[in-house]
Structure 1
Amino acid sequence: NRKLSLERRYSFASADVSDPEWSGGVLDIWEDISLAYLSLFCSFCVFGWNMERIGFGNMYVHIATFVLFCLAPFFIFNLAAINIDNEMVREGLGYTGIVLCLFGLLYGGFWRIQMRKRFKLPSYNFCCGRPAIADCTLWLFCCWCSLAQEVRTANSYEIVED
């Protein structure tokens, strides 16, 4: 019971939102031109900022974690390849690092799932009827579009601490 009293809870506005919706479609990235460019060129920072303002923790922790998940495999595998004499193995390690970097985008997918559940947003069911897989797929195939949609959605509702 004490644990519950220390937990922060967030929801949409003080007035009940009976049927929350995502703000625009996933591919409506250019709906807000400044947000589109921020999502494209400052993805890590926009992601962290959005997570903090909707109540999912510290902005800087999210930025650092997301950067590490997306960039660390590239650097680790390429540094490991430096001392290998075999050209094919060296290239294989480099390509493996690049592919593993893409899986860092699943971090964004995970937090999209959390946002959808907390704010009771509608799910996409295009992946075998599984909303969580659909959320991660959206992040894998267009992380900038997904991020822009999440920010637009948070902008269109007033987020308050319960």
Structure 2
Amino acid sequence: MAKHEKTVEQTEKSRFLIISEAATAYGDRSFDNYAQIRSIAEQIQAGLCGYLDHERKCVFLVPPQGPFLEQNYGSAAFSVSGKGFLPLEPISFGLGIRVSETGDFLRVVLQCRKEGARIDVQVEHNKTYELDLPLKEKELNVVLEGLFQHTLHWFTDRTERYDHGNYGTSDIGFDIMRIDKGS
């Protein structure tokens, strides 16, 4: 076919309409991707909060980078926030996890990728959980225990390295912060 020849479909529709339909399909998929991942994120946040402490709120959905307060950030907690046209790509979000009685929080970043009828959730470039949709409580509990262990080991591993004289690491993004409630 010559470079500028029109197909039968193109003669019935303008090129703009063809692109517009493709953009609409893309938009539908990108919204589905975001909605599915956000639902999983909210279930993880609420579940982990209850898993760690039934007495008070101790886990928040926070942006994957930058400063954060002791609050849920809604759509601003996701890496696609503020990008205008919602991109069709893996999405990251942060969990601000209370780790002390004095207001210290550790941010744990999760990246999610929808793969057909499942979502892969990767924790800090380490462990990946493959979750079938719709999410079942048993699968969620595996993730919650994994996040508990990840957070616990973040501290115990560093303490042990210090105790054995090997606490200098090349970790990038030391992300533990104290949050003053008055801020």
* Bin of the TM-score, shorter chain as denominator length: 0.3 to 0.5
Task: Please state which structure has a larger fraction of its residues in helix.
Answer: 1
Larger radius of gyration: 2
- Provide TM-score, normalisation by structure 1: 0.35
